[in-house]
Chains A and B, each alone.
Chain A
Amino acid sequence: MIRDSLSVKFSLTLVLFGLAACQTTVEPPPMRSLANSGRVSLLCLEYTSQRGRDLRACPDSVDPLIDHEDRRVMALVTQSLRGEVAVIDMHDSRVVDEEPALPGTEFLPLGANPSGIVSTPGGSATFVGTTEPGREALFALPSSCILPPAVGEPARDLSLWSTCRLPAAPAELELVAVADGGPDGYGVGCQGAKDKAWYAAATMPVAERRQDCPASLEDEAHLAPVGRRKLVVTFPTLGMVGVYDAQALLNQKPGTFPPCVPDAMVALRVTPPTALAPQALPADLVGSATCAVAAPRYEFGPAPTAYQSRPAGVALQGGKMFVADLGTPLVHVLDLSNPCAPSELEPLLPRSFDEPKRDVRTRDLSVSEPLRSGEQFVYAIDDADGSAMVFDVGAKSSQRTPLVRPGSPELPFEPPDRIRFDAPIRDLLLLSHDAPIVDPNTGTTTLGTLCDPNPNSDSVGSLYRTSSDRTRGAGPRKFRGTFGFMALGSGSVAAVDIEDFDEACRRPVSNTTPGTGRDWRGCAYAPGIASYMTDAVASVSDEVSCNIVQRHRARGSMAMLMDTGIGVTAPNLRSLPQLSDPLSGDVGASQVGPARLRPRLLAVPFAADGGVTSPSQVLVGSTAMAIEGDLNQSLLDVDPGTTESHSLLLPLGEPRVYASQESFTATYEGAVLLPRSTGRLPVVSGTDERVGRPLRDTELLLRDADALFCDAGVSDEALALATGESMGLASGRRRSDFASGHADYVQLTDKFSVDDAYFASTAAQAACGETDLRGACEEWFGTTELPLATRDLRVTEAYHDRLLLEPRVPGDEAAWVKRVHCCFPSVHNYVVRGGQQWVVRGSRLLHDIIPGAGVRCVRDCSPRKAHLKSRAFEVTSSAAECRKSTENLSKLPACWIGAQATGPSEDGVPQVDPCVTALVKGAIDPSRPSAGLPAACVFAGLQSRFAVYRGLAPSHRDMAFSWSIAGGWSPLSTSLVNASVGMTVLPEFMLHSPQLNAIVVVDSASGGVSLLSLEGLVPQGLPFL
């Protein structure tokens, strides 16, 4: 059987070989040896003597012939599936074959399921934890035996390693040191070891230790961390952290499997504080905590009666070890300044701003070095959603909860206290890096020099400015400062800004005018600087926003430029908006003919903000267009009386709000909730639990539990009424008319199928009093192709799982309700539409509606939702001229804004227009509040700014403006995909190597190990496979 199989394979190989022979060039497939790699550790090895060296002495910059040393960085990579450790020689760029006599590439065999791995700073040895159930162990790999054996040396097999048995599966390993090595300089270090055999091993004289694979850690005790090496091991199933003497493990007799004897064991705390202090809020979120309807949205079941700690990832910095925990909502902080007596300090308290009732567990973390400001940050991965939260653990910080960032109202898609990417974060790494420039005056370099944008300065910081050709200096791929790097499940490594030394140099060249606020680019006035452009030379990057770099947010992949000479990489309209009319096709904004009957969507200049004004402009393709001012730009005409095109503006205060490309529509009475097919209109007898009373005979109840109406943004009469009030509608009648006219409505979209047995049933016919029930239904409600207004049902009360409805057409509502029950007896199709307004939708509908008490849809008063808008009301004119007949297209009235509604419309639904001007033409000017229009008449959304002016004829359903925005934000990331591994990538683990000036990334899917250079976050060659 096997022989046959081999025969087939051989034949196939021949065929392939034959095919390949026809090609001019045969590229051999890359040889792969690594598989399911897990963790990596680095050490410096003197290759000839096979002795460890200080990692900082690698790679060897001196010719071996001179110093007689050949120092190489070696990477040791755990192989999860095979229970082995692979050795990569980074100098020769090869995976070491430990047994060249055998086919394939052999590695160092260990126990099954290796977990953590750590090498000593002096490169003497590497330690690995293994987790095979029943055989949990620590292995010690002396560096003297990690290369293939020479003649006479022992084989690199399982019996070669010193090992000991652990009480449970280990997870992470770290190395610390006891500074006081004891009376003999490198004694036991901890005096607590009671086990005689273990103590003997720990204190074994060098001469008595194994000589086949020697490793004496005292040789490197002078290297930081100075002192006797101790292994810190986490035990997820025990909820404990243990400290073990590294030399004692190295001195165990190979082939034996004694128990590992800890110097100390710490049981991690399992009880979170009973009273949690609230997260500190930035100024732009103050009020959200006290917002009446911002009660915790989600429940997560009862709190556990008891927690069990499951320590996960760890991070070590300055004698403190931070421990993530998958079992308790705590990030433990261990004081390891004395590893013999570790103690747990007050823990960090992971929690979620959006889901405060959730127990937030963490699976990995990283800690930064202290920043210039003294701040220091821990990033931890939230296990429930794969995002990262930020803790300030600096000396000045007393906060133990995740940091809530400012700017959330402009970035509603990302939780205020989370850094989130499209794919879950697999691993994270915080590191500091600089690329100092030699000061030409002193010939010295200084780390941490801030970029100086002041055009009047020639300080050292000015050397870090973006060069005119943008190939040097401040830019997205220049890493100077402290950054976070996130390995994502999507196969890439993304960067996060923490402290960018070049931040000040990345902004527009134009300064804004004096004031206290920020302009539409997010820029505040910089005193003493007229412009960042002097003699046609910019001292800054001239990017479109002052918020290109923001702390604890994803770093952008490109410089966001409006420079049409170099290329447009900033948010831009692909073209000016277009209007389509379902009745007459595309319609322009011409001033002649039927086009004047149609509405216009026109840009509105940015408002003054805190005294700061700035010329409003927008990129349309590669053309910069401004509403006023700059002669170098095309001008946008935003007056409905003269303009020939629709237009809008793009706010740039928060460039991250723009997707790389997104299409938008503004549709008259457009869909708020996209079509659904699972609505039911039951006959409700008795009190409905949500409505709280029996239904009137003029009312219907639409139920659809999965529709999540509030999340979809459905607005009922009460919400419409509140909108009217906010727009200054004070009198009762007008307010109620406004509410009924502008509340959303359900349009039933079922067809009355001839195949539906229901219509032929005598019971149904008798109940409805119609022998041709189907025909009657078509007569009452029309068809799906030609629906009648009787299919429209106003939403009088919206709940998360049901809607209370009334017929939208006036008349005998009770009779129509009966007819609805007759013609829509079962589950049916429907769509929810906005009433007499324009519904603006990009990839989603932005709104501030949430389920409140009793799951009634209410408006969220949180400041975070303040900018979420999806409804635009038309600007109308009260001028008498505008009411004149428009039947004669060649003699239209001298009015360019549609007339204000003054009474019931043709379908009988009362109309009240909230945005009424006395003018017949003229654009909205936000600097002239005397125009009398409520501020809400300007659609000031996160991604667009415009007003809709009614045409001379009323707008009708499904008229739609459409536009697309390109050049949006994309996070800086580097994919591990390459020609060697194809798409089979899944980053698992990262390590910073200052020696290689790179991030070492382990890819568990391909098994490969990649290097990403910190000079641009680009791959350094192909991965080691």
Chain B
Amino acid sequence: MALAGLAFTACYSNGDGIAPPLSQIYFPVGVATSPDQSRLYVVSSDFDLQYNAGALHSLDLKRVRQLVPRDCDKDADCVAGERCDAAGDSASHWCVAKAGKFAGKPCGALGERAVGERIIVPGRCNNVDLTSPQMGGAPVQVDSVELGAFASDLVLRQGPKGEQRLFIPVRGESSLHWIDVDKSGGLHCGQEGSGSCDSIHRAGLDSSDNSRGLRMPPEPFGIAVSAKAEAIAITHQTSGAVSLFTQDLAHWSRGPELEFILQNLPLRPVALAAVPRSLASDLLEPSSLQVGFLTAYRDTPQVDLLRYYPDAGANPSRPFLALAGSAQVRANLLDYDSRGIAVDGSERADCEASCAGESGAKASACALSCANVPLGVFLSSRSPASLISGFTQPDTWATPNRDLPRFSDVVALPYGPSRVEIGKIMTSAGKLETRVFILCFDARRLAVYDPTRRLVERWITTGRGPHALSFDYQAPDPSRGEPGHALAYLAHFTDSYLGVLQLDQRARRTYGEVVLGLAPVTAPRASK
């Protein structure tokens, strides 16, 4: 509560105070995996104002994967120089060194965490130091940069030429930071000299940047970015407003600009998700190419569909967001206090993938048919704690846009559900399958929900303050000798570290568990 109070009264200034330790994750609030799964980006929020800024970290995921313990049943499952630790009551069933200083030790140089501590910080081994891994070798962290305090989330999108850009709402100064990423994971936001992002990379601060004279409202929170990044929506958690930033795709280097603030929505919009772009969108007339966002509220039981209008016909064009429709949430008792929303377009994407072999009219027909595959919509609610699920009802023959969901089921969750993410796990048969992941901040649980079987498949006990989640999976490719993997990176807000979750059911002893920790566990000052 005290921390929350601080957050409301503070504002970002990196001129005074102690600079954040860029080698340390500090109250992480957002994680994102690069499309090629080579990098993980983590944003530290500096939530308790111990430092004068937040930070963004770029981590080497290949290095991380090397550090993840490998399950085994027998020695033959391990590589040369290792054996399977399968004997005894405390057998880890991990591959361990046969010889040397850490022979037979499941955690090697990391050392084992005390059993009592594992109640608060799950995982057998101590966490890896990001810049000087205990076992030696290359650092895990590739780069870092300072940014404004109180970031709230992180989204990565690729530009027209494959450029990678990170978008970060920052509550401390009410801005949208945008940071470019080079191929080696280096971060660029004009930080040369000062070490922190320059004003160009902090959009929304200058009212002269747009034709409406707008300044970003306070308390930006949730962010959603369209697939091509032409539209960026940000909720404002203390008012009924959603900001619209636009990114000129023809001039990618210019960065996003604040263009519009949609007002008079129900109070406290928090949850926000972009509606996945359909392959058929490219086949429909240009005026039908409407980007959509679904937003949900803490105070009102409804999900709204917001449409992005580029206003291309006007001169000057002034893009805006409009409320296109509302769906009442009537799935649980009170239906409000929605904290997270996610849209699952995987079934539609699978259908569209099947169109790849078609061409011409057949390809168009295939894409249009696939556009009618409903999208899954998942909403976390705290009244009571539950996951509400439903589907959109596409209607492409009548109109290209019908992205409002109707909710059809509800599942109880432990206390404090917050964000909802769509990801994949690897089945015991080596097949990637979609799952819905619901973070329960208060209860320290991560629910793994199987949307096809309509049940929570696994309750993962996390450390304190599970807050953000990103995925790292790859299907097996026998032709390349690639066994495939499925991991997730869970940002623990309260103790400022990342947990690496095993999501490969082939690792049947560790599936759904924290198998590695990244960055030292740092308890908040109040509890020290």
Interface residue from B412, B428, B452, B458 paired with A988 (Cβ < 8 Å): B412
Nearest-Cβ distance from residue B394 to partner chain A, whole angstroms? 7
Nearest-Cβ distance from residue A694 to partner chain B, whole angstroms? 16
**Which residues of chain A are near B398, meaning CB under 8 Å?**
297, 708, 710, 800-801, 851, 855
**Which residues of chain B are near A385, meaning CB under 8 Å?**
406, 408
For the complex, give the distance between the alpha carbons of A490 and B397 in Å.
34
Any chain A CB within 8 A of the CB of B469? no
**Which residues of chain A are near B385, meaning CB under 8 Å?**
984, 1005
**Which residues of chain B are near A134, meaning CB under 8 Å?**
428, 505, 508-509, 511
8 A Cβ contacts from A673-712 to B: 677-678, 680, 682, 689, 703, 705-706, 708, 710
Contacts A326-B452, A985-B384 given; does A689 touch B285 at CB 8 Å: yes
**Which residues of chain B are near A757, meaning CB under 8 Å?**
211, 316
Please state if A706 and B324 are interface contacts (CB–CB under 8 Å): yes
**Which residues of chain A are near B512, meaning CB under 8 Å?**
133
Interface residue from B320, B373, B509 paired with A301 (Cβ < 8 Å): B373
Any chain B CB within 8 A of the CB of A826? yes
Nearest-Cβ distance from residue B28 to partner chain A, whole angstroms? 19
Please state if B414 and A81 are interface contacts (CB–CB under 8 Å): yes
Nearest-Cβ distance from residue B342 to partner chain A, whole angstroms? 18
Any chain B CB within 8 A of the CB of A761? yes
Any chain B CB within 8 A of the CB of A384? yes
Nearest-Cβ distance from residue B99 to partner chain A, whole angstroms? 31
Please state if A301 and B307 are interface contacts (CB–CB under 8 Å): no
**Which residues of chain A are near B366, meaning CB under 8 Å?**
302
Any chain A CB within 8 A of the CB of B311? yes
Please state if A827 and B311 are interface contacts (CB–CB under 8 Å): yes
Nearest-Cβ distance from residue A706 to partner chain B, whole angstroms? 4
The interface bits of chain B over 361-394 (1 if a CB of A lies within 8 angstroms of the residue's CB, else 0) are 0000010011111100000000111101001011
Please state if A489 and B332 are interface contacts (CB–CB under 8 Å): yes
Any chain B CB within 8 A of the CB of A1004? yes
Please state if B391 and A706 are interface contacts (CB–CB under 8 Å): no
Any chain B CB within 8 A of the CB of A592? no
For the complex, give the distance between the alpha carbons of A708 and B527 in Å.
55
Nearest-Cβ distance from residue B400 to partner chain A, whole angstroms? 6
**Which residues of chain B are near A703, meaning CB under 8 Å?**
287
Please state if B369 and A301 are interface contacts (CB–CB under 8 Å): yes
The interface bits of chain A over 289-312 (1 if a CB of B lies within 8 angstroms of the residue's CB, else 0) are 000000001111110000000101
8 A Cβ contacts from A198-254 to B: 236-237
The interface bits of chain B over 394-435 (1 if a CB of A lies within 8 angstroms of the residue's CB, else 0) are 111111111000111111101000000000000010000000
For the complex, give the distance between the alpha carbons of A4 and B523 in Å.
12
The interface bits of chain A over 812-825 (1 if a CB of B lies within 8 angstroms of the residue's CB, else 0) are 00000000000001
The interface bits of chain A over 997-1008 (1 if a CB of B lies within 8 angstroms of the residue's CB, else 0) are 000000011100
Interface residue from B313, B316, B511 paired with A682 (Cβ < 8 Å): B313
Please state if A423 and B330 are interface contacts (CB–CB under 8 Å): yes
Nearest-Cβ distance from residue B110 to partner chain A, whole angstroms? 21
Majority SS at the chain A contact face? loop
For the complex, give the distance between the alpha carbons of A610 and B398 in Å.
41
**Which residues of chain B are near A113, meaning CB under 8 Å?**
456-459
Please state if B401 and A705 are interface contacts (CB–CB under 8 Å): yes
8 A Cβ contacts from A289-345 to B: 297-302, 310, 312, 326-327
For the complex, give the distance between the alpha carbons of A491 and B334 in Å.
9
**Which residues of chain B are near A1, meaning CB under 8 Å?**
523, 527-528
**Which residues of chain B are near A300, meaning CB under 8 Å?**
372-374, 394
Q: Give the interface residue-count category, chain B.
A: 35 or more
Chain A count of residues within 8 A CB distance of the other chain:
74
Interface residue from A36, A169, A297 paired with B414 (Cβ < 8 Å): A36
Any chain B CB within 8 A of the CB of A750? no
8 A Cβ contacts from B320-339 to A: 320, 322-325, 330-334
Contacts A489-B331, A705-B290 given; does A855 touch B414 at CB 8 Å: no
Interface residue from A236, A758, A983 paired with B384 (Cβ < 8 Å): A983
Any chain B CB within 8 A of the CB of A422? yes
Please state if B453 and A310 are interface contacts (CB–CB under 8 Å): yes
Any chain A CB within 8 A of the CB of B267? no
Which single residue of chain B is at the shortest CB-CB distance from A4? B527
For the complex, give the distance between the alpha carbons of A312 and B453 in Å.
8
**Which residues of chain B are near A539, meaning CB under 8 Å?**
none
Any chain B CB within 8 A of the CB of A965? no
Please state if A424 and B408 are interface contacts (CB–CB under 8 Å): yes
For the complex, give the distance between the alpha carbons of A198 and B285 in Å.
65
Contacts A1-B528, A705-B399 given; does A680 touch B315 at CB 8 Å: no
Any chain A CB within 8 A of the CB of B254? no
Any chain B CB within 8 A of the CB of A366? no
Please state if B211 and A81 are interface contacts (CB–CB under 8 Å): no
Please state if A984 and B508 are interface contacts (CB–CB under 8 Å): no
14 interchain pairs, CB-CB under 8 A: A1-B523, A1-B528, A131-B455, A131-B457, A134-B509, A169-B457, A302-B370, A310-B453, A382-B408, A423-B410, A706-B307, A825-B313, A826-B311, A984-B385
- Contact residues of B with A, CB < 8 Å? 120, 211, 285, 287-288, 290, 305, 307, 309, 311, 313-316, 318, 320, 322-325, 330-334, 348, 351, 366, 369-374, 383-386, 388, 391, 393-402, 406-412, 414, 428, 445, 452-459, 505, 508-509, 511-512, 523, 527-528
Given contacts A298-B395, A384-B391, 14 further A-B contacts (CB under 8 A): A81-B414, A113-B457, A132-B458, A134-B509, A169-B453, A300-B374, A302-B369, A312-B453, A386-B331, A424-B409, A678-B322, A705-B290, A706-B401, A1006-B384
